[in-house]
Structure 1
Amino acid sequence: MAETQTNPLWNEAKIKNYLPHMTVPEVETFLTKSDLVIIPIGALEQHSSHLPIGTDFINGVELCKLIAQERDVLVAPVLMAGQSPYHMAFAGTISLSAETIIRVHMETVESLVQNGFNRFIFMNSHGGNRAITTFLVDQINQKTSAVAVDYGVAIAPFLTPEKTEKATSLDRHAGVGETSDSLYLMPSLVEIDRATEPGVHHPKHLEKMLPDVIKEEPTAKLLFLAEGLKAEETGKKTSTVEMTKTGVWGELHPKEATLERGANNAKRMVAACSKFIDKWNEYLQ
């Protein structure tokens, strides 16, 4: 008889404080130390030809795992997909309604509260989920016994300045920044040789705003993002495929991405979140 072998595709190592890998006794032991949970809210959407559909979800989970190696926080991802209607012209994109995303996470929190968890950090790892995350955090605080915070708001006071030159070009979805992060967080899934020139164009009035948007001028950025990257059915002419056939929303070639930039960014995030958790824990002592 041929020797029995395990699944040839399995190469995953067990990660500390990562709920899908944990046993019941391990969760019970964790609860004797902490009642804190971090939940990434990602997306399954096109990321051009060089990054995978799951970029936002995977990067979010991996960053949360890194935080959980530094502090006692449970990593509990429950949804891969997010709100991505503006990418639907690209094969593989999945978009959920805001109502679905909120309901799933509300029920997740209710389950974990029943287990004994009481504090929650929601990490939005996809720009299209920003408003959903804000509303979700508020609903948890208003309707449950748990306390929830938005990761981005929580870590902001603890973030050190990013070590990059001042931006001179638009660089958002699937661009240099996101590709750099991916080179650090999920290196084996980045196919940088397949990256192509962005070829992005915007409606004329948005193009006029662009110089100020790049400078982070508040009003320009607010208006640009309110209208930019919206579903085709809105008629705004700013869905991804209407602005760029490559799927990259930016002017820089993704091949300019560097591992160093991604590593620095991830370490900044982990350090900032660790300091926030320390402060939160300090208030409960």
Structure 2
Amino acid sequence: MYLADEAWPDLETYFDSESLALVPLGSTEQHGPHLPEATDHLIAEALAREAADRTGYLCTPTINVGVSGHHRQFHGTMWVEPSAFRQYMESLTRNLTAHGIDRVIYVNAHGGNVQHLREVGARLRQAEVAYAIEWMWDESIPELVDDLFAQNGPHGGPKETAMIKYLEPELVHDERLEEARDTGVPSVEAAGTVKHGSRTFYDAIDNSDNGVFGDQTDATAEKGAQLFEAASDQLVQLCEWLAEQAFDDLLPADHV
């Protein structure tokens, strides 16, 4: 069920019987010369909508702008400050609890959001308001990602390229895939910016002139379909697990 498509009287039965919501999140930021700036939020929304369709759980509208200041040197990247993002996400989640939701899955497709969503979830749990957890699609299927790509890249690489080739192929600049590979770097390790155990980089451009990593020419829509199906299965299983838990069992343990 997609919340924004429903009239309010038709949502009453959902909130009477269910207490779980999916909140898709991504970013609007550079993804190299070949992918749209919408890459992350397109992936997050597609996965959340798929899981909602398969389970009947509620999917909210997508949060399209996240914590992306580390991509700010590239044209068009949008971002909010981390503190503003955390405050917004906590407020939005508390809004859902006003309707009876007490467990939330942040369906996230942007690495820059992870630590902040974890902090928000910890605050809400400590306050015993809601149990909110962050889920990252590629981290749910790491073996498949490694099997499909020799150089999967942490950003704008073949795994994201394959997903967009599957979901929104008209948005991929196929004629720029070799450029993306040849003007980027294979990996963060290859960038040589980890010095004596210290991550000396702060921004994406510190590692890669074009902002992306890996071999984008290794991406196909068929591989994207495999990734999407496998990640969707993981998200559905997470929904089913979380829905089965007693809320009291999700709250912090008592002091020893």
Fold agreement, TM-score > 0.5: yes
**TM-score of the superposed pair, with normalisation by structure 1:** 0.74
Q: Please report how far the alpha carbon of residue 77 of structure 1 lies from its aligned counterpart in structure 2 after TM superposition.
A: 3.4
Q: Please report how far the alpha carbon of residue 72 of structure 1 lies from its aligned counterpart in structure 2 after TM superposition.
A: 2.4
Bigger radius of gyration, 1 or 2? 1
Q: Structure 1 residues 25 and 174, CA, compared in 2 at 3 Å: closer, same or farther?
A: same
State the alpha-carbon separation in 2 of the partners of residues 137 and 188 from structure 1: 36
State the alpha-carbon separation in 2 of the partners of residues 194 and 163 from structure 1: 22
Q: Tell me, which stretches of 5 or more residues in structure 2 are unaligned?
A: 248-256
Alignment pair present for 1:184 and 2:166: yes
State the alpha-carbon separation in 1 of the partners of residues 222 and 87 from structure 2: 38
Q: Tell me, which stretches of 5 or more residues in structure 1 are unaligned?
A: 1-16, 211-219, 228-235
Deviations 1:109-147 (A, max 9, x none): 111111122211112210111211211111111125222
Q: Please report how far the alpha carbon of residue 78 of structure 1 lies from its aligned counterpart in structure 2 after TM superposition.
A: 5.1
8 Å CA contact retained: 1:47, 1:173: yes
2:209 corresponds to which of 245, 253, 256: 245
What is aligned with 1:273?
A: 235
The count of residues paired between Structure 1 and Structure 2 equals 242
1:273 counterpart letter in structure 2? L
State the alpha-carbon separation in 1 of the partners of residues 51 and 3 from structure 2: 14
Q: Please report how far the alpha carbon of residue 160 of structure 1 lies from its aligned counterpart in structure 2 after TM superposition.
A: 8.7
Deviations 1:152-200 (A, max 9, x none): 49x95xx594175375436221111110011222333223223324323
State percent identity of aligned pairs. 24
Q: Structure 1 residues 175 and 110, CA, compared in 2 at 3 Å: closer, same or farther?
A: same
Q: Structure 1 residues 160 and 100, CA, compared in 2 at 3 Å: closer, same or farther?
A: closer
State the alpha-carbon separation in 2 of the partners of residues 31 and 166 from structure 1: 40
> 3-state DSSP class of the match of 2:75?
coil
* Cα RMSD, aligned residues only: 3.0
Deviations 1:240-261 (A, max 9, x none): 33433323223x1x23211121
8 Å CA contact retained: 1:40, 1:124: yes
What is aligned with 2:82?
A: 98
8 Å CA contact retained: 1:36, 1:72: no
**TM-score of the superposed pair, with normalisation by structure 2:** 0.82
What is aligned with 1:14?
A: none
State the alpha-carbon separation in 2 of the partners of residues 246 and 173 from structure 1: 11
What is aligned with 1:137?
A: 121
